[in-house]
């Protein structure tokens, strides 16, 4: 399971002209699911996402987590993160999870985040989404579980 996390001051997802998910300060998580990912993988990644210290403290040092600042989480499925781009000029998606498995893992990740007490918004799985964000910093990291 792969996540690209971006520290944002605001972000939203639009599908067919309608906003389906929106947050203020927090993290935009682009989530890619691979074939071998299981609930334990999602739990480990969620622990990293929620506890990763990338928000500024009083000394303007990256020392606070999403939980510390009581920030919000916008989770967007993005199967292209599972692409193999090492060879050629076209990505291979052979390691990406099937849509059924990916949707289950995506929904599990979101539900576990809510159970942790996080404020969570989402995109729409497998939809053509337009993601709008104000990347704060910019600060962007790629995390794997």
Active site positions, annotated:
78-80
- Report the candidate in 108, 126, 109, 98 with the shortest Cα–Cα distance to residue 35: 98
Report the run of H or E that residue 140 belongs to, with start and end: strand 129-144
Instruction: For CA atoms 54, 56, 57, 60, give the dihedral sign.
Output: positive
Q: What is the DSSP letter of 80?
A: G
Token pair listed for 57:
């403290």
| C-alpha separations of 44 from 47, 48, 49, 128 in Å | 5, 6, 9, 28
- Report the candidate in 49, 97, 99 with the shortest Cα–Cα distance to residue 74: 49
| Alpha helices in 2-84, H assignment, sequence order | 39-51, 66-69
């Amino acid at each position: 399971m792969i996540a690209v996390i971006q520290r944002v001051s605001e972000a939203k997802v639009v599908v067919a002209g309608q906003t389906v998910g929106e947050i203020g300060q927090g993290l935009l998580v682009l989530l890619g699911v691979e074939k071998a990912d299981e609930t334990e993988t999602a739990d480990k990644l969620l622990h990293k996402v929620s506890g990763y210290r990338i928000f500024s403290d009083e000394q303007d040092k990256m020392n606070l987590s999403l939980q510390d600042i009581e920030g919000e989480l916008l989770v967007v499925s993005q199967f292209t993160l599972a692409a193999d781009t090492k060879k050629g000029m076209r990505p291979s998606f052979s390691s990406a999870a099937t849509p059924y498995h990916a949707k289950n893992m995506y929904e599990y990740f979101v539900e576990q985040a809510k159970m942790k007490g996080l404020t969570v918004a989402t995109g729409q799985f497998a939809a053509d989404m337009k993601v709008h964000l104000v990347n704060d910093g910019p600060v962007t990291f790629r995390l794997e579980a």
